[in-house]
């Protein structure tokens, strides 16, 4: 039993399961936007399948990222302790995990509706393909954001079988928000990326300019949060959550400076995790209670 718990912990750590808080609230927002549309309703089966798709897609993406980057992770002192470089999980085991997660994602998508089944391979190509983008473009942060941005529109399609403007706006919020804080996170490896020929915005420009790009992306996020509120005829619960989300965006840029990266992890993980959960919860409660 102890060994099983240990292995489970290794795999949860491999995919950084705790980071699910970045996209999961927006997947739930997409689900409830669809479920509250005229002609639709809450369905436990659909809800559980949406959660399954979210977990399996993200697990496949993170597992593949760790598998694809094992050579670089082994060379980087910050990442050498990760599960594959440290030997806790072998590359083959990680690849089997990725394949299993991908298959389960497609099966779960197929149990929802035809459109989610048809789009599931496209989603996989995006979330798995991200792992190689850092090898040839500093726009890799935007590709990561694109991968996570599939959550709200994907969940909406899971319920309704169609596209709509409002969940698409939420997808663009996720895209700009995630891209912006991923730039902050990658500040830690700017020198390593230059030395190993990897691309990231901090690696191809100064830290100060990289933070400026991050701020610009988050300013777009703020504008889109406001647009989403008006487009969805939101109430005070939404606007309260939106205000907290925006404050958290501002806060992370106040605690990270080009000459002081000591609070990058607080900005990346803690601040954005709280921001995403509060904002996503506000969206859902506003839909259900007002």
Q: Model confidence over 25-53: pLDDT tens digits? A: 999 999 999 999 999 999 999 999 999 99
Low-confidence ranges of the chain (pLDDT < 70): 1-7, 12-13, 15-21
- Number of domains observed in the structure of the chain: 1
Q: What is the CATH number of the domain that holds 248?
A: 1.10.357.140
pTM beyond 0.75, yes or no: yes
pLDDT number for residue 22? 76
Domain that holds residue 56: 2-289
Phi, psi angles (nearest 5°) of residue 123: -60, -40
pLDDT number for residue 267? 85
pLDDT number for residue 8? 72
pLDDT number for residue 1? 65
Q: Which residue has the tokens 């169609």?
A: 162
Answer yes or no: are the C-beta atoms of 140 and 130 closer than 8 Å: yes
Cα separation, 5 vs 8, in Å, equals 5
- The DSSP call for residue 134 is T
Cβ neighbours around 195 below 10 Å, total: 12
């Amino acid at each position: 039993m102890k060994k099983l718990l240990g292995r489970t912990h290794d795999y949860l750590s491999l995919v950084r399961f705790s980071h699910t808080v970045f996209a999961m609230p927006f997947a739930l927002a997409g689900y409830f936007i669809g479920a509250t549309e005229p002609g639709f309703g809450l369905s436990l089966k659909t809800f559980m399948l949406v959660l399954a798709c979210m977990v399996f897609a993200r697990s496949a993406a993170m597992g593949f990222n760790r598998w694809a980057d094992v050579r670089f992770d082994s060379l980087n002192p910050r990442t050498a302790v990760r599960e594959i470089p440290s030997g806790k999980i072998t590359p083959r085991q990680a690849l089997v995990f990725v394949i299993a997660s991908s298959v389960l994602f497609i099966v779960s998508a197929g149990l929802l509706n035809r459109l989610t089944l048809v789009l599931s391979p496209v989603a996989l190509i995006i979330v798995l393909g991200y792992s190689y983008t850092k090898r040839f473009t500093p726009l890799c942060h935007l590709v990561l954001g694109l991968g996570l941005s599939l959550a709200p529109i994907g969940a909406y399609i899971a319920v309704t079988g169609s596209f709509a403007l409002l969940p698409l706006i939420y997808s663009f919020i996720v895209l700009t928000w995630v891209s912006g804080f991923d730039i902050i996170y990658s500040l830690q490896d700017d020198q390593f990326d230059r030395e190993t020929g990897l691309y990231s915005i901090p690696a191809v420009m100064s830290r100060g300019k990289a933070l400026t790009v991050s701020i610009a992306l988050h300013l777009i996020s703020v504008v889109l949060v406001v647009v989403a509120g008006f487009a969805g005829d939101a109430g005070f619960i939404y606007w309260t959550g939106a205000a907290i989300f925006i404050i958290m965006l501002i806060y992370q840029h106040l605690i990270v400076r080009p000459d002081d990266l000591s609070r990058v992890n607080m900005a990346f993980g803690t601040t954005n995790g709280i921001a995403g959960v509060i904002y996503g919860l506000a969206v859902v409660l506003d839909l259900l209670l007002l």
